Chains A and B, each alone.
Chain A
Amino acid sequence: MKRALPWVVPVVILLAWQAASQFGVLRDQIMPAPTAVAEAFWRVLRSGELLRDIEISTWRAFAGFAVGGGIGFALGMLNGLSGLSEKLTDSTLQMVRNIPHLALIPLVILWFGIGEEAKLFLVALGVFFPIYVNTLHGVRSVDRQLLEMARAYGMSERAIFWRVVFPGALPSIFVGLRYGLGIMWLTLIVAETISASSGIGFMAMNAREFMMVDVVVVSILIYALLGKLADSIARLLERTCLAWNPVYADV
């Protein structure tokens, strides 16, 4: 009974939506009925179009994430560990951070055209900052007392990194990771909607041209689903890696 409780509201909404469509309150051109959306889903799934588009979108998302997140992580670590490197780069990065990365779209199109590079670049740029900022914060907030203990017990610099600094920064890195995943999908949606010849965003824009509202709704739901999936995986990873932390232990 308790487990069913969170599902009550969504089911009621779904039923109300279906009823509104059936009694003509909601016109099909505005919002097709849930059953029509389900049919559209089945249609694009069977044609193979959906899986192809999911694949290309997911690839773009994670390739961009890997590049931006990787650089953000490396720079965050470097600046957290080396005062020189931090002095050299941090204030510049903090300034650049104030430019919303989506504002660069016109420039990016000029640079890369509408090819894959443009989308990868935008995603990477969007993901870079949350990962960078949180990694840096994580490294900085590692308990000084633990570092002192590690030195006093003769740990090598390498061991100190892997056994003290990295695990100490990990909770903060996960915050950046989950935030970055959100930005990753958001950026991709925008980029694919503006210019693409494949992917879920393209599917949506293409369907719009042919007034296939049901397919548009399907694409929106797929985006939501992918976002949720990525977040769930990140949460699972977080719970496994941070099992030592009583905050995550009970879950």
Chain B
Amino acid sequence: MNVSLADPVRESELRVSTDGSSVSLRGITKSFGVQEVLHGIDLDIPAGQFVAIVGRSGCGKSTLLRLVAGLDKPTSGTVEIDGRATGWRDTVRLMFQEPRLLPWQRVAANVEVGLSHRKSGDDRRRLAIETLAQVGLDDRAKEWPSVLSGGQKQRVALARALVSHPRILAFDEPLGALDALTRIEMQSLIEQVWQDKGFTAIVVTHDVTEAVTLADRVLLLDAGRVAMDVTVDLPRPRRHGDPEAAAIEGRILDRLLGR
């Protein structure tokens, strides 16, 4: 999976916009009909930070993420990326819980979907293959998605998100449907590409261990508000079962469970 690191020429070529963008939310509320899901969220995420958002089911995590990704508009408040309120749609990429690959397009063409917003397209295929190499799947470029395993599909989805060099990558429980081992593999892949590219990462997860393993900072969302903001200042790569991480995890879990 370390293909990009093993090939310095290719890597430097791909480092076009390595840096992330900062995110700033001011007084964000979001209502669906009469139900207000988010009640006034103020949040600053510095460029390049790895943030995890945890919280009970239905507390508004996906809703918040969709606002940051520009898929929905807040009912009130502002979302600013690098200090700009508009025009940043294409700098943010969203990865879903399901791979959401087009089943009728080959793997490489699915990665090219990530370049749909661009006008010119002669180098699409090349960029797609290079990005597939970064997730270790360049040899499967010509396959149909249906023959890939769940983890492989999610890696293709990751390549699709990465191919346009997003400055912010948002993940909505991207590993929720994977088995434990594949999960750990995917976690380190995500961590590796994040370190490699320097984008701002925002991961929604219901797994507190995953949050503490990956993130610089864990936000706990409760009833539409940020109830807890924990900095995780531990060296990387973090090992599973590290006692310091376990302590942080315990604090977050206590709060989640209302103990």
Q: A146-B100, A163-B105 are in contact. Are A155 and B116 (CB under 8 A)?
A: yes
Tell me which residues across on chain B come within 8 A of A152, comparing CB atoms: 69, 71, 93-94
Bound form: Cα–Cα A167–B110 in Å? 14
Q: A154-B89, A154-B90, A167-B102 are in contact. Are A149 and B116 (CB under 8 A)?
A: no
Assess whether B11 is interfacial by the CB under 8 Å rule. Answer: no
Total A residues in contact with B, Cβ cutoff 8 Å: 23
Bound form: Cα–Cα A150–B93 in Å? 12
Assess whether A7 is interfacial by the CB under 8 Å rule. Answer: no
Interface hits, B78-104 → A, CB 8 Å: 89-90, 93-94, 96, 98, 100, 102-104
Assess whether B17 is interfacial by the CB under 8 Å rule. Answer: no
Contact B113 A155 (CB under 8 A): yes
Tell me which residues across on chain B come within 8 A of A148, comparing CB atoms: 71, 100
Interface hits, B94-136 → A, CB 8 Å: 94, 96, 98, 100, 102-105, 113-114, 116-117
**B116 CB, min distance to chain A CBs, angstroms:** 4
Interface hits, A135-192 → B, CB 8 Å: 145-146, 148-156, 159, 163-164, 167-168, 170
Contact A145 B102 (CB under 8 A): no
Contact A145 B100 (CB under 8 A): yes
Bound form: Cα–Cα A245–B102 in Å? 11
Bound form: Cα–Cα A242–B105 in Å? 11
Bound form: Cα–Cα A151–B90 in Å? 11
Bound form: Cα–Cα A168–B160 in Å? 20
Q: A151-B71, A245-B146 are in contact. Are A159 and B116 (CB under 8 A)?
A: yes
Tell me which residues across on chain B come within 8 A of A249, comparing CB atoms: 144, 146
Contact B146 A246 (CB under 8 A): yes
Contact B71 A146 (CB under 8 A): no
Contact B103 A244 (CB under 8 A): yes
- With beta carbons under 8 angstroms apart, the residue of B103, B104, B113 that contacts A150 is B113
Contact A149 B96 (CB under 8 A): yes
Encode contact with B along A230-250: 1 for CB under 8 Å, 0 otherwise.
000000000000111110010
**B207 CB, min distance to chain A CBs, angstroms:** 22
Contact B102 A146 (CB under 8 A): yes
Chain A residue nearest in CB terms to B146: A246
Contact B116 A145 (CB under 8 A): no
Interface residues on B, range: 20 to 34
Q: Name A's interface SS.
A: helix
**A58 CB, min distance to chain B CBs, angstroms:** 31
Contact B144 A153 (CB under 8 A): no
Tell me which residues across on chain B come within 8 A of A153, comparing CB atoms: 93, 113-114, 116-117, 160
Tell me which residues across on chain A come within 8 A of B102, comparing CB atoms: 146, 163-164, 167
Bound form: Cα–Cα A170–B100 in Å? 18
Q: Identify which of A151, A152, A168 gathers the most chain B CB atoms within 10 Å of its CB.
A: A152
Contact B144 A244 (CB under 8 A): yes
Bound form: Cα–Cα A72–B96 in Å? 36
**A91 CB, min distance to chain B CBs, angstroms:** 28
Tell me which residues across on chain A come within 8 A of B98, comparing CB atoms: 145
Tell me which residues across on chain A come within 8 A of B103, comparing CB atoms: 244-245
Contact B146 A244 (CB under 8 A): yes
Interface hits, A3-41 → B, CB 8 Å: none
Question: Which chain B residues have a beta carbon within 8 Å of chain A's beta carbons?
Answer: 69, 71, 89-90, 93-94, 96, 98, 100, 102-105, 113-114, 116-117, 144-147, 160
Extra contacts, 13 of them, besides A154-B117, A244-B146 (Cβ < 8 A), are A145-B98, A145-B100, A146-B102, A150-B113, A150-B116, A152-B71, A153-B117, A154-B89, A163-B102, A243-B144, A244-B144, A246-B147, A249-B144
Q: What are 18 A-B pairs with beta-carbon distances under 8 A?
A: A149-B96, A149-B113, A150-B116, A151-B71, A152-B93, A154-B90, A155-B113, A163-B113, A168-B104, A170-B104, A242-B104, A244-B103, A244-B145, A244-B146, A245-B104, A245-B146, A249-B144, A249-B146
